[in-house]
Amino acid sequence: MSSLHLELKDDDPWFIEEKIFKILLDYLQDPTAAPAATAQALDRLFPANRPDEDQPAGEPREDPGSFLWHFWGVVHDVAQQIPYTAPEQDRLVELIKALKGLSSETKSVYLASWHQIFELWGDLPMLGPTFRDMCECIVSLNDEEEREHWQNLNAYAARLTRDGSADLIFFAEYAIQGLLEEDLEHGLVEGAPGSILECRVAVAAEWVIHCGQRLVAQEEEGIEAENWQKCKETFSNVSAKPSMSPHTRERVQKAMQVMEALQLG
């Protein structure tokens, strides 16, 4: 069993959120649990697929859009609690990949707020907007917990993008640009491990490790060669700093190996 500690951070959770969380918790704590079977269990919670015995008496079934918003909210909240290099990060992404490939009894869903029909679950509807909303809740990296959440969410997004389950490459560009801010290194690099600089370095490194090829392969969505070179130089400069934890230095070294292998800049 996994030693991962997860919480449903809601004082008054909706009963469906509790069910989603319980399924995710059981899956992530049991390394033998199959992603496909867990995806099917999650699919059965969708309003049109939900058995009557799982629906509280006298309570109407919710709108599909409302379900999806809460569904992804729970998933993303779990993701931000998983340390960014923990094996459970990969396990969660494997589950989402299985969900994307699942043939649901409900083939499509119309989301009125988007005036669009989406395939369930092939389009993973509402994953992107809810992920962006989750990231916007992290208003500052001055708080240690928020730095941890930012690292974990970006590692999760990088894995989803790597696997083609979702396209969150925008956050890679944002992460690398954030690392290159002119004033970032001054006054922060000598702080204790866990500083804003270390957080930015770790996040950028995860994107390079998981999506480096994509970042340099397509001009429209990748990063400029100049910024790629600056990122390499920043990694090189900070990798030997005493303020960087050994773990962060190891990830930076791996990112630099990826950059060297791509032979750009």
Distance CA 209, CA 175 (A): 13
Rounded to 10°, the helix 144-163/170-179 angle is: 140
Q: Across all residues in the chain, what is the average pLDDT?
A: 91
**For residue 152, pLDDT beyond 60:** yes
Ramachandran category for residue 103: left, alpha or beta (phi over 0 → left; psi -120 to 50 → alpha)? beta
Per-residue pLDDT, 139: 80
Measure Cα distances from 199 to 63, 107, 108 in Å: 38, 41, 39
Of the given ranges (101-105, 134-138, 186-190, 209-213), which has the lowest mean pLDDT? 186-190
Residue 174: HSE in the Cβ half-sphere, 13 Å Cα cutoff: 12
Asked if 173 contacts 208 with a C-beta cutoff of 8 angstroms, the reply is no
**Which pLDDT band, with edges at 50, 70 and 90, does 222 fall under?**
low
Distance CA 162, CA 11 (A): 34
Question: HEC profile for 38-80?
Answer: HHHHHHCCCCCCCCHHHCCCCCCCCCHHHHHHHHHHHHHHHHH
Per-residue pLDDT, 193: 47
Asked if 91 contacts 28 with a C-beta cutoff of 8 angstroms, the reply is yes
Distance CA 151, CA 229 (A): 22
Distance CA 235, CA 183 (A): 16
Segment 203-212 shows an average pLDDT of 96
Per-residue pLDDT, 115: 93
| 55-75: pLDDT as tens digits | 988 899 999 999 999 999 999
Per-residue pLDDT, 184: 58
Nearest residue to 86 via CA among 39, 44, 137, 28:
28
Nearest residue to 235 via CA among 200, 188, 193:
200
Per-residue pLDDT, 126: 98
Q: Per the structure block, which two tokens stand in for 129?
A: 């907007």
Q: Per the structure block, which two tokens stand in for 65?
A: 């859009």
Q: Per the structure block, which two tokens stand in for 160?
A: 């989803």
| 20-60: pLDDT as tens digits | 999 999 999 999 999 999 999 999 999 999 999 999 888 99
Asked if 151 contacts 194 with a C-beta cutoff of 8 angstroms, the reply is no
Q: How do 108-111 and 116-119 pair as beta strands?
A: antiparallel
Of the given ranges (16-25, 112-121, 189-198), which has the lowest mean pLDDT? 189-198
